[in-house]
Amino acid sequence: MSQAASSAAASPEALLHMGRDVLARQPFSVLIGAELAVLAPGHCELQVPITDRVKQQNGFVHGGVVSYAADNALTYAGGSALGAAVVTSEFKINYVRPAVGERLIARAHVEHAGRTQAVCRCEVFVLDRGVEKLCALAQGTIAALPKND
Amino acid sequence: MSQAASSAAASPEALLHMGRDVLARQPFSVLIGAELAVLAPGHCELQVPITDRVKQQNGFVHGGVVSYAADNALTYAGGSALGAAVVTSEFKINYVRPAVGERLIARAHVEHAGRTQAVCRCEVFVLDRGVEKLCALAQGTIAALPKND
Amino acid sequence: MSQAASSAAASPEALLHMGRDVLARQPFSVLIGAELAVLAPGHCELQVPITDRVKQQNGFVHGGVVSYAADNALTYAGGSALGAAVVTSEFKINYVRPAVGERLIARAHVEHAGRTQAVCRCEVFVLDRGVEKLCALAQGTIAALPKND
Amino acid sequence: MSQAASSAAASPEALLHMGRDVLARQPFSVLIGAELAVLAPGHCELQVPITDRVKQQNGFVHGGVVSYAADNALTYAGGSALGAAVVTSEFKINYVRPAVGERLIARAHVEHAGRTQAVCRCEVFVLDRGVEKLCALAQGTIAALPKND
């Protein structure tokens, strides 16, 4: 279960800083070199540099890494809108093209946010010699964790 | 996009051997230590030992690793039934419990196989002090790649 | 949004009676002749007799009716486990065969139930000259409505 | 399984006419009064007037009708891009608001089209006293049927 903490009341700089701090404390995200490029209320862009370690046997980015990028971007987008610690409840992903290139770019945005959950969508692109190509589309539910105070 | 090659006509030992060979050629699967425990026509069990590197900031297995396990297990199950090189077209996953324990176990099975695609389901468990607990449920479509010959 | 009310504490007969009462108050379910065959804690079977009115242009049951059956069965299964008024938050469905026959049978069951939501699965069969054939598979989240008291 | 026939090569008027002709031959779509408002390559708008017959027990549009609208709109959008007889292979839907109002409006568009299948998204709105409100979001795969010739 992915999890991110953020606050909708934070300044843009503080929000991105907070998001990057969470990412830096996710050993798996560090392992594959994920970077949080953008985090704004209801919107997130997460990138993964494409190195050999994230590939499968044909030289494409492994589907599990594409789904990681979608999952984590959805979580950040939802968290930025809900202003709370959140988890991804569920998501679905459609793969439309093998990911070959230099960089994976997952952009997620909130489509509808209620009090306790947000429905978000994400598009995953691969940057291939300067051109972005759509690789996958995702849609899912991000839920705020109950406050313990 | 995940991809696996297999043959429904192979002997049980040959099928498992072939599956493990594909896994060993997936750098990402090697990176996180994934193991193919079972591969039989229409059925697969994939395991990931839980080390710090697959976790997020709260000490749970990262959702992206859980979705990787589901995705890859679905692909193997579908490939074992279709007897061809395959890709995961799409899947959805519901997370039901944070994954805390020693080992992630993803079991996938074919629910319906046609000529060119299979619909599969997967349950992901975490082995926690000897007890298996359900962490996630997935359902998706595995498609045979067109033969190039 | 589908909605059902039920109570996990009710006797088996009372639970089924309550479920049928809710169905009878759904004009759309009445319109297409849906019947609640089974309702037990965590399990539901909903049937739709196949008449011309539920078909599409090729004589198959319309996909929208198959998804209705899955949606409603998931909602009942979840509601029977949560013991509360519930709604379907989301679901996904894979169609695997055109539905041709006398009767659509949707069987849903709870895979995991928490305090406020349940993850359920459903298989939709068509009864064709005495033989059940799998037509679709679904998986989704059922959420308890907040109590207003 | 929903099914629509169309041709990407047709004129705009011919495409819409062809789409309406298919809808008129779907007894279920006629039963609930569905109307095809727009059909263009890669895009579709399907409407359902909200009458008592499409409701559930609380006076909201039944979730099954919302999912019908999404399913059918996805199918038309995919068919318009693939230029062939098509079926919906799978889709997922998130409900975000009870549908209360005069008219259900489902707008679907193609996100990626290959040779044999298209990944599409759909938003379902309810028109409530002149204001459109988002009720549900869907994403799915539309597949071209093999040609029989």
Interval B108-127: pLDDT, tens: 999 999 999 999 999 999 99
Give dist(CA A76, CA B80) in Å, integer: 36
Q: Residue D1: what pLDDT?
A: 41
Across all residues in chain D, what is the average pLDDT? 93
Residues B38-51: what's their mean pLDDT?
97
Could you give the percent of chain D with pLDDT greater than 70? 92
* Token pair belonging to A107: 């952009």
Domain assignment present for A91: yes
Q: Residue D9: what pLDDT?
A: 62
Q: Which residue has the tokens 């040779």?
A: D115
Which chain D residues are Cβ-neighbours of A140 within 8 angstroms? Answer: 94
Residue A146 forms contact with B (CB below 8 Å): no
Residue D121 forms contact with A (CB below 8 Å): yes
Print pLDDT tens along chain A (149 aa): 445 544 556 788 999 999 999 999 999 999 999 999 999 999 999 999 999 999 999 999 999 999 999 999 999 999 999 998 999 999 999 999 999 999 999 999 999 999 999 999 999 999 999 999 999 999 999 999 987 54
Q: Give the domain CATH number at A62.
A: 3.10.129.10
Contact A92 D119 (CB under 8 A): no
Give dist(CA B130, CA B101) in Å, integer: 9
Q: Which chains have at least 3 CB atom pairs separated by less than 8 Å from chain A?
A: B, C, D
Domain assignment present for D124: yes
Span D92-114, pLDDT tens digits: 999 999 999 999 999 999 999 99
CB C40 within 8 A of CB C25: no
Number of domains present in the structure of chain B:
1
Q: Residue A132: what pLDDT?
A: 98
| Residue A78 to residues B136, D37, D140, Cα–Cα distance (Å) | 20, 33, 22
CB C69 within 8 A of CB C35: no
Residue D141 forms contact with B (CB below 8 Å): yes
Q: Residue A9: what pLDDT?
A: 62
Helix, strand or coil, per DSSP, at residue A97: coil
Domain assignment present for A139: yes
- Using CB atoms within 10 Å of the CB of residue B139, give its burial: 0 to 12 exposed, 13 to 18 middle, 19+ buried: buried
Residue A137 forms contact with C (CB below 8 Å): no
Residue B88 forms contact with A (CB below 8 Å): yes
Residue D69 forms contact with C (CB below 8 Å): yes
CB pairs under 8 A between A and C: 9
Enclosing domain of residue A77 = 3-144
Mean pLDDT by 10 residues, chain C (149 residues): 52 93 97 97 97 95 97 97 94 97 98 96 97 98 81
Residue D141 has pLDDT above 60, yes or no: yes
Distance from CA of B137 to the nearest CA of A (A): 9
Domain assignment present for D149: no
Give dist(CA D118, CA D135) in Å, integer: 23
Q: Residue B9: what pLDDT?
A: 62
Contact D119 A139 (CB under 8 A): no
Domain assignment present for A136: yes
CB pairs under 8 A between B and D: 9
Domain assignment present for B149: no
Domain assignment present for A149: no
Residue D40 has pLDDT above 50, yes or no: yes
Span B70-83, pLDDT tens digits: 999 999 999 999 99
Q: What is the bridge-based pairing of β-strands D3-4 and D86-95? A: antiparallel
Domain assignment present for C149: no
